[in-house]
Amino acid sequence: MLATMRECKNCIGSDVDVDQARGNAVCMGCGLVLEDNIIVSEVEFVEGGRGGSHAVGQFVSSEGGAKMPSFGNAPLFGIGRESRAQTVQRAKQHISNLGSQLQMNQYCLDMALNFYKMALNKQLTRGRRSSNVIAACIYIVCRTEGTPHMLLDLSDLLQVNSLLPPTFP
């Protein structure tokens, strides 16, 4: 991961984190995902145990479509593109539902989805309820954008007591 001399269109910040392995560029100031389809032109192959070879790398998906990823004519299995796309789509729907109940504008909802994608990329969603992660992303937007919403509003919508300490598995 490295910072580049890119500039965020949202906050005009220049602290942009580019992660070639994950294929994204994220503004560290506001959380806006500037790019999430960075494609690398190099292809690397490694030799397998029985003399065969296979391509090494990570498939970087676009947000549209549910086509199985492939390399040439051979499909790549086990990458999880469809599962990830479904997870992001469910999160987008949940964010939209909560946001409409809180009467938040589309800009804030898009920013909350970007925070969710960041959490998903950094594997911060594992072992946590998706509704709680989504609520946290919306709450981050509420604090950064100065909306009149409180944590209590989100806990009421989710029917969760925000005063209880979190339990860890």
Structural domain boundaries, residue 93: 81-158
Report CA-CA distances (Å) from 158 to 65, 94, 130, 152. Answer: 31, 11, 11, 10
Asked if residue 71 is part of any domain, the answer here is no
Q: Which two tokens stand for residue 104?
A: 């938040």
As a whole number of angstroms, the distance between CA 80 and CA 33 comes to 21
Residue 31 lies in a domain: yes
Count of structural domains, the chain: 2
Tell me the pLDDT of the chain (169 aa) as tens digits. 444 457 787 788 888 887 766 667 788 878 788 776 655 556 666 776 666 766 666 555 444 443 444 444 455 554 555 678 888 889 999 999 998 899 999 999 999 999 999 998 888 888 888 888 999 899 999 988 888 888 888 888 888 776 656 555 5
Where residue 146 falls (left for φ over 0; alpha for ψ -120 to 50; beta otherwise) is left
**Residue 143 is part of a domain; what is its CATH number?**
1.10.472.10
> Which position has the token pair 């998906």?
61
Q: Are 104 and 110 in contact (CB under 8 A)?
A: no
pTM equals 0.51
* Among the listed residues 156, 165, 169, 112, the one whose alpha carbon sits nearest the alpha carbon of residue 137: 112
Q: Flag whether 56 is in a domain.
A: no
